[in-house]
Amino acid sequence: MDHFLYRDGALYAEDVSISEIADSVGTPFYVYSTATLLRHFRLFDDALEGMDHLVCYAMKAASNQAILKTLGDAGAGMDVVSQGEYLRAKAAGIPGNRIVFSGIGKTAEEIRTALTGGIRQFNVESEPEMAVLNAVALELGVIAPITIRVNPDVDARTHAKIATGKSENKFGIPISRARAVYAHAATLKGLKVIGIDVHIGSQLTDLTPFEQAYTKVAELTETLRNDGHEITRLDLGGGLGIPYVHSNQAPPLPADYGAVIKRTVGHLGCEVEIEPGRLIAGNAGLLITKVIYVKSGEDREFMILDAAMNDLIRPAMYDAHHDIIPVIEPAAAILPRTYDIVGPVCETGDTFARERAMPPVAADDLIAFRGAGAYGAVMASEYNSRPLIPEVLVNEDQFAVIRRRPTYEEMINRDTMPAWL
Ligand code: LLP
């Protein structure tokens, strides 16, 4: 459920009219709902009630500081994957002891920044990384708490570009080698091994792969304990999917997911962390855009929007479906038309949807993409020299621009001329 509903014939974000924001900010822009963000966070938090746990929002999904602070104030931790994300989380006021650091390529500099600024744990993904982490910790005279990410060789049954838990994927250490790697880690004086980490992929719409992976983690916990390791924390990753087709998709709920966690690892007495990103932010955000032209082709009509693949790359990159709806509610009796919905960027891949049935639209109509809150603004680029679009946060009847649209001068003046030109 989200808080974007039609009211008196027009789309609202909570108690704010989308058209009113568009008049004030211009299009295109992203808009997020505070109530939806918090609702989704609390669903996860409640799903783990009764267990010692921390929901670490995977901030790669949507990393504006206003979103981080909204969630942080509600008690969320953060899962970060780069120095930039770490610094952004800190800037948003998230304490270091609620930040976990994931990612397969942490550099010594990134590790130093996190060890100096405070960190809950590193999720280590390889032996070379372990060696660097150990060296930096010793150099700083501190002990780095770590989990080791294991690759459970489970098929997440999701899009190949976002599946991470098969042995052919680049993530984690093979679970078959875990005992040896943990034994080695225990000899390194700069590290304290506290747990196990796993993350098998994103946009999972079936709980079975989670169940398989977490069962393997539970078995490994027992094995490692028998080997003498103190395993007190399990980071179970993120990945729970969201309905992108609102009319006919109903992926598992966080409560069902929580039940799987309790069933598979609940008996171990470990502190549990999860790293949801998409389910918290995805349906808490819309991309609002305006129709520039409707153009007739040989055998189809093109709806040309002022948003493009540089603003929302998911359809081009993953063939992702986003529901696309008009901001002014269509009359119930109106007959739909079929459009190819495209952006102005000069490549055919800049197509959001083909043969999509929509109420008839005209130039200047406002259009909303649903499910755009996660992996939308964060994956945007300035391709075609199109400035990054603004982000807006709504909270009940208030809205605020949380990242403004840069001017063309700001964008252009970031280039510098070499002396010889
Ligand atoms: N933890 C780790 C270690 C991850 O790699 C990810 C996502 C998450 C947590 C959060 O997963 P989520 O709950 O959001 O599914 N750009 C793609 C998604 C990439 C996901 C990458 N890792 C998309 O737009 O679908």
Residue 9 lies in a domain: yes
Please tell me the predicted confidence (pLDDT) of residue 162.
79
Please tell me the predicted confidence (pLDDT) of residue 249.
79
pLDDT value at 163 more than 80: no
Query: Which residue, of 225, 249, 276, is where some domain finishes?
Result: 276
Question: Same domain for 260 and 286?
Answer: no
Query: Which residue, of 244, 276, 308, is where some domain finishes?
Result: 276
Please tell me the predicted confidence (pLDDT) of residue 81.
98
Q: Do 233 and 271 meet the contact criterion of CB atoms below 8 Å apart?
A: yes
Residue 223 lies in a domain: yes
**Residues 6 or more apart in contact with residue 254 via CB below 8 angstroms:** 40, 43, 44, 46, 47, 240, 276, 279
Residue 47 lies in a domain: no
Instruction: Provide mean pLDDT across the span 177-196.
Output: 98
Instruction: Provide mean pLDDT across the span 52-70.
Output: 98
Please tell me the predicted confidence (pLDDT) of residue 104.
95
pLDDT value at 159 more than 90: no
Q: What is the CATH number of the domain that holds 370?
A: 2.40.37.10
Please tell me the predicted confidence (pLDDT) of residue 364.
98
Instruction: Provide mean pLDDT across the span 125-147.
Output: 98
| Per-residue pLDDT tens over the stretch 71-82 | 999 999 999 999
| Per-residue pLDDT tens over the stretch 263-276 | 999 999 999 999 99
pLDDT value at 126 more than 80: yes
Q: How confident is the model at residue 248 (pLDDT cuts 50, 70, 90)?
A: confident
Instruction: Provide mean pLDDT across the span 97-118.
Output: 98
Instruction: Provide mean pLDDT across the span 232-254.
Output: 93
Give the ligand 1 atom nearest the CA of 282: 14
Give me 413's structure tokens: 């003046």
Smallest Cα–Cα separation from 230: which of 191, 258, 202? 191
- The binding-site residues of ligand 1, defined as CB within 6 angstroms of any ligand atom, are 58, 61, 79, 102, 162, 199, 202-203, 237-239, 275-279, 314, 318, 374-375
**Residues 6 or more apart in contact with residue 190 via CB below 8 angstroms:** 133, 134, 135, 136, 137, 138, 142, 143, 144
CA of 227 to the centre of ligand 1 (A): 32
Please tell me the predicted confidence (pLDDT) of residue 378.
98
CA of 203 to the centre of ligand 1 (A): 8
Residue 374 lies in a domain: yes
Please tell me the predicted confidence (pLDDT) of residue 156.
86
CA distances from 65 to 72, 85, 151, 391, 397 (A): 10, 10, 31, 11, 20
Question: Strand 191-197 to strand 144-151: parallel, antiparallel, or no bridges (unpaired)?
Answer: parallel
Residue 153 lies in a domain: yes
Q: How confident is the model at residue 52 (pLDDT cuts 50, 70, 90)?
A: very high
CA of 60 to the centre of ligand 1 (A): 7
| Per-residue pLDDT tens over the stretch 326-368 | 999 999 889 999 999 999 999 999 999 999 999 999 999 999 9
> How many CB atoms within 10 Å of residue 1?
9
**Residues 6 or more apart in contact with residue 344 via CB below 8 angstroms:** 292, 304, 305, 306, 308, 350, 384
Instruction: Give the CA-trace dihedral at 246, 251, 256, 261, to 10 degrees.
Output: -130
Please tell me the predicted confidence (pLDDT) of residue 160.
81
Question: Please, is 61 exposed, middle or buried when counting C-beta atoms within 10 Å of its C-beta (0-12, 13-18, 19+)?
Answer: buried
Please tell me the predicted confidence (pLDDT) of residue 332.
87
Q: Please indicate whether residue 346 is annotated as part of the active site.
A: yes
Q: Rounded to an integer, what distance in angstroms lies between the CA atom of residue 290 and that of residue 401?
A: 18
CA of 198 to the centre of ligand 1 (A): 12
Q: Rounded to an integer, what distance in angstroms lies between the CA atom of residue 164 and that of residue 158?
A: 10
Please tell me the predicted confidence (pLDDT) of residue 239.
97
Question: Same domain for 22 and 70?
Answer: no
Question: Same domain for 154 and 199?
Answer: yes
Query: Which residue, of 245, 261, 276, is where some domain finishes?
Result: 276
Domain range holding 145?
63-276
Instruction: List the residue whose alpha carbon is closest to atom 24 of ligand 1.
Output: 375
Question: Same domain for 234 and 178?
Answer: yes
Question: Same domain for 272 and 325?
Answer: no
Please tell me the predicted confidence (pLDDT) of residue 396.
98
Q: Rounded to an integer, what distance in angstroms lies between the CA atom of residue 71 and that of residue 74?
A: 5
**Crossing angle between the packed helical segments 83-91 and 108-117, to the nearest 10 degrees:** 20
pLDDT value at 1 more than 80: no
Instruction: List the residue whose alpha carbon is closest to atom 9 of ligand 1.
Output: 238
Q: What is the CATH number of the domain that holds 169?
A: 3.20.20.10
CA distances from 371 to 374, 377, 380 (A): 7, 12, 15
Instruction: Provide mean pLDDT across the span 189-200.
Output: 98
Question: Same domain for 267 and 289?
Answer: no
Question: Same domain for 129 and 267?
Answer: yes
Question: Same domain for 239 and 326?
Answer: no
Give the residue carrying structure tokens 């009359």.
331
CA of 306 to the centre of ligand 1 (A): 27
Instruction: Provide mean pLDDT across the span 19-44.
Output: 98
Pocket residue to mutate for ligand 1, from 60, 171, 273, most atoms within 8 A of Cβ: 60
pLDDT value at 166 more than 90: no
Question: Same domain for 272 and 298?
Answer: no
Residue 46 lies in a domain: no
Give the ligand 1 atom nearest the CA of 375: 24
Give the ligand 1 atom nearest the CA of 239: 15
Tell whether pTM > 0.85: yes
Catalytic residue among 332, 346, 417, 419: 346
Residue 148 lies in a domain: yes
Question: Same domain for 18 and 160?
Answer: no
Q: Catalogue the E-assigned strands of 119-166.
A: 121-124, 144-151
Please tell me the predicted confidence (pLDDT) of residue 263.
98
Q: Rounded to an integer, what distance in angstroms lies between the CA atom of residue 136 and that of residue 130?
A: 10
CA of 142 to the centre of ligand 1 (A): 30
Question: Same domain for 407 and 314?
Answer: yes
pLDDT value at 144 more than 80: yes
- When divided into structural domains, the chain yields a total of 2
Give the ligand 1 atom nearest the CA of 164: 5
**Residues 6 or more apart in contact with residue 72 via CB below 8 angstroms:** 78, 89, 92, 93, 94, 98
φ/ψ region of 38 (left if φ > 0, alpha if ψ in -120 to 50, else beta) reads: alpha
Give the ligand 1 atom nearest the CA of 314: 24
Question: Same domain for 227 and 241?
Answer: yes
Instruction: List the residue whose alpha carbon is closest to atom 12 of ligand 1.
Output: 239
Pocket residue to mutate for ligand 1, from 171, 202, 205, most atoms within 8 A of Cβ: 202
Residue 287 lies in a domain: yes
Task: Work out the mean pLDDT of the chain and round it to a whole number.
Answer: 96
Give the ligand 1 atom nearest the CA of 197: 3
pLDDT value at 97 more than 80: yes
CA distances from 5 to 11, 36, 331 (A): 6, 12, 15
CA of 146 to the centre of ligand 1 (A): 21
Name the residue type at position 387. Answer: P
CA distances from 363 to 24, 161, 254, 289 (A): 19, 35, 40, 11
Instruction: List the residue whose alpha carbon is closest to atom 19 of ligand 1.
Output: 162
The SS3 call for residue 54 is strand
